[in-house]
Amino acid sequence: MNRSIPLILSIAALTMSGCNSRPVIEQPNKPAATAPATAPATAPAPGQLPPGHPQVGQAGDNPHAGMKAQDLPPGVGKKARVTQVISRDGKTFLELVDEKGEKLWLAMPEVKVSVGNSIEYPEAPVMEKFHSKTLNRDLERVSFVPGIRVVK
Protein backbone atom coordinates (compact mmCIF):
# COMPACT_ATOMS: atom_id res chain seq x y z
CA MET A 1 0.00 0.00 0.00
CA ASN A 2 2.89 2.39 0.79
CA ARG A 3 4.23 2.03 -2.75
CA SER A 4 0.88 2.51 -4.45
CA ILE A 5 0.23 5.98 -2.98
CA PRO A 6 3.34 7.59 -4.56
CA LEU A 7 2.56 5.83 -7.84
CA ILE A 8 -1.03 7.11 -7.87
CA LEU A 9 0.17 10.63 -7.00
CA SER A 10 2.76 10.52 -9.79
CA ILE A 11 0.15 9.45 -12.34
CA ALA A 12 -2.26 12.14 -11.15
CA ALA A 13 0.47 14.81 -11.38
CA LEU A 14 1.38 13.76 -14.92
CA THR A 15 -2.28 13.70 -15.94
CA MET A 16 -2.96 17.15 -14.52
CA SER A 17 0.14 18.74 -16.03
CA GLY A 18 -0.68 17.26 -19.44
CA CYS A 19 -0.43 19.45 -22.46
CA ASN A 20 -0.92 23.13 -21.78
CA SER A 21 -1.46 24.10 -25.39
CA ARG A 22 -4.74 23.80 -27.20
CA PRO A 23 -5.01 22.21 -30.62
CA VAL A 24 -4.52 24.63 -33.47
CA ILE A 25 -7.51 24.92 -35.75
CA GLU A 26 -6.51 26.06 -39.18
CA GLN A 27 -8.77 28.50 -40.93
CA PRO A 28 -9.51 27.81 -44.58
CA ASN A 29 -7.69 30.00 -47.05
CA LYS A 30 -9.80 32.89 -48.19
CA PRO A 31 -9.91 33.25 -51.97
CA ALA A 32 -8.49 36.41 -53.38
CA ALA A 33 -11.07 39.05 -54.07
CA THR A 34 -12.22 38.93 -57.67
CA ALA A 35 -13.17 41.86 -59.75
CA PRO A 36 -16.91 42.36 -59.98
CA ALA A 37 -18.52 41.14 -63.18
CA THR A 38 -19.08 43.91 -65.62
CA ALA A 39 -21.98 44.20 -67.99
CA PRO A 40 -21.20 43.98 -71.70
CA ALA A 41 -20.51 47.34 -73.30
CA THR A 42 -23.67 47.01 -75.39
CA ALA A 43 -26.50 44.74 -74.40
CA PRO A 44 -28.15 42.74 -77.20
CA ALA A 45 -31.44 44.06 -78.49
CA PRO A 46 -34.53 42.40 -77.02
CA GLY A 47 -35.10 39.03 -78.68
CA GLN A 48 -31.49 38.77 -79.93
CA LEU A 49 -28.69 36.60 -78.58
CA PRO A 50 -25.41 38.02 -77.31
CA PRO A 51 -22.46 37.80 -79.71
CA GLY A 52 -21.00 34.29 -79.87
CA HIS A 53 -24.10 32.60 -78.38
CA PRO A 54 -25.09 29.40 -80.24
CA GLN A 55 -28.35 29.49 -82.17
CA VAL A 56 -31.39 27.93 -80.55
CA GLY A 57 -34.52 26.46 -82.13
CA GLN A 58 -37.53 28.53 -82.92
CA ALA A 59 -40.77 28.24 -80.98
CA GLY A 60 -42.55 25.05 -82.02
CA ASP A 61 -39.32 23.20 -82.91
CA ASN A 62 -39.21 19.65 -81.56
CA PRO A 63 -36.05 19.20 -79.45
CA HIS A 64 -36.46 15.42 -79.81
CA ALA A 65 -36.66 15.47 -83.61
CA GLY A 66 -34.27 12.96 -85.11
CA MET A 67 -33.90 10.91 -81.93
CA LYS A 68 -34.01 7.16 -82.49
CA ALA A 69 -35.35 4.55 -80.10
CA GLN A 70 -32.65 2.30 -78.65
CA ASP A 71 -32.42 -1.34 -79.64
CA LEU A 72 -32.89 -3.33 -76.45
CA PRO A 73 -31.46 -6.81 -75.85
CA PRO A 74 -33.69 -9.77 -74.84
CA GLY A 75 -34.65 -9.90 -71.17
CA VAL A 76 -34.43 -6.15 -70.54
CA GLY A 77 -37.14 -5.97 -67.95
CA LYS A 78 -40.89 -6.26 -68.02
CA LYS A 79 -43.21 -7.85 -70.55
CA ALA A 80 -46.61 -6.59 -71.68
CA ARG A 81 -49.07 -6.58 -74.56
CA VAL A 82 -49.72 -3.42 -76.60
CA THR A 83 -53.37 -2.28 -76.54
CA GLN A 84 -53.03 1.15 -78.18
CA VAL A 85 -50.38 2.91 -80.31
CA ILE A 86 -50.19 6.66 -80.95
CA SER A 87 -47.27 8.12 -82.93
CA ARG A 88 -46.97 11.87 -83.29
CA ASP A 89 -44.17 14.43 -83.66
CA GLY A 90 -41.39 11.81 -83.58
CA LYS A 91 -42.69 10.20 -80.40
CA THR A 92 -44.60 6.97 -79.80
CA PHE A 93 -47.02 6.43 -76.93
CA LEU A 94 -48.03 2.84 -76.17
CA GLU A 95 -50.80 1.73 -73.87
CA LEU A 96 -49.88 -1.63 -72.36
CA VAL A 97 -51.45 -4.34 -70.25
CA ASP A 98 -49.00 -6.44 -68.22
CA GLU A 99 -49.31 -10.02 -66.98
CA LYS A 100 -51.22 -8.81 -63.91
CA GLY A 101 -53.74 -6.89 -66.02
CA GLU A 102 -52.40 -3.47 -64.99
CA LYS A 103 -52.40 -0.68 -67.58
CA LEU A 104 -49.45 1.61 -68.24
CA TRP A 105 -48.47 4.04 -70.97
CA LEU A 106 -44.92 4.14 -72.34
CA ALA A 107 -43.48 7.21 -74.08
CA MET A 108 -40.36 6.96 -76.26
CA PRO A 109 -38.78 8.09 -79.52
CA GLU A 110 -40.81 6.87 -82.49
CA VAL A 111 -40.90 3.08 -83.01
CA LYS A 112 -42.86 0.73 -85.26
CA VAL A 113 -45.12 -1.51 -83.22
CA SER A 114 -48.69 -2.76 -83.63
CA VAL A 115 -51.64 -3.32 -81.32
CA GLY A 116 -51.49 -6.90 -80.05
CA ASN A 117 -47.67 -7.13 -80.12
CA SER A 118 -45.95 -8.48 -77.03
CA ILE A 119 -43.05 -6.30 -75.99
CA GLU A 120 -40.27 -6.06 -73.42
CA TYR A 121 -39.38 -2.69 -71.95
CA PRO A 122 -36.91 -1.46 -69.33
CA GLU A 123 -38.13 -0.57 -65.88
CA ALA A 124 -38.46 3.18 -65.40
CA PRO A 125 -40.11 5.47 -62.85
CA VAL A 126 -43.85 5.85 -63.32
CA MET A 127 -45.46 9.29 -63.41
CA GLU A 128 -49.04 9.45 -62.20
CA LYS A 129 -51.64 11.67 -63.87
CA PHE A 130 -49.29 13.07 -66.54
CA HIS A 131 -50.61 15.62 -69.05
CA SER A 132 -49.10 15.07 -72.50
CA LYS A 133 -48.87 18.26 -74.52
CA THR A 134 -48.13 16.17 -77.62
CA LEU A 135 -51.36 14.19 -77.26
CA ASN A 136 -53.30 16.94 -75.49
CA ARG A 137 -54.64 14.42 -73.02
CA ASP A 138 -54.02 13.12 -69.52
CA LEU A 139 -52.36 9.74 -69.06
CA GLU A 140 -53.16 7.97 -65.79
CA ARG A 141 -49.73 6.27 -65.51
CA VAL A 142 -46.77 6.77 -67.88
CA SER A 143 -43.10 5.80 -68.01
CA PHE A 144 -40.53 7.37 -70.31
CA VAL A 145 -38.23 4.72 -71.81
CA PRO A 146 -35.44 4.80 -74.39
CA GLY A 147 -37.01 2.03 -76.49
CA ILE A 148 -38.70 -1.37 -76.50
CA ARG A 149 -38.15 -4.82 -77.96
CA VAL A 150 -40.96 -6.57 -79.83
CA VAL A 151 -41.11 -10.21 -78.71
CA LYS A 152 -41.71 -12.65 -81.58
User: Is the per-residue pLDDT at 59 higher than 50?
Assistant: no
**Measured distance CA(105)–CA(96) in Å, rounded:** 6
Instruction: Give me the mean pLDDT over the 56-78 stretch.
Output: 66
Determine whether 106 is exposed, middle or buried from the number of CB atoms within 10 Å of its CB (0-12, 13-18, 19+). buried
Q: The pTM is what?
A: 0.56
Instruction: Give me the mean pLDDT over the 15-43 stretch.
Output: 62
Domains and CATH numbers, the chain: 78-151 (2.40.50.550)
What are residue 6's phi and psi, to 5 degrees? Answer: -60, -35
Bridge partners (DSSP) of residue 48 are none
**Measured distance CA(66)–CA(126) in Å, rounded:** 25
User: Is the per-residue pLDDT at 67 higher than 70?
Assistant: no
**Measured distance CA(83)–CA(101) in Å, rounded:** 11
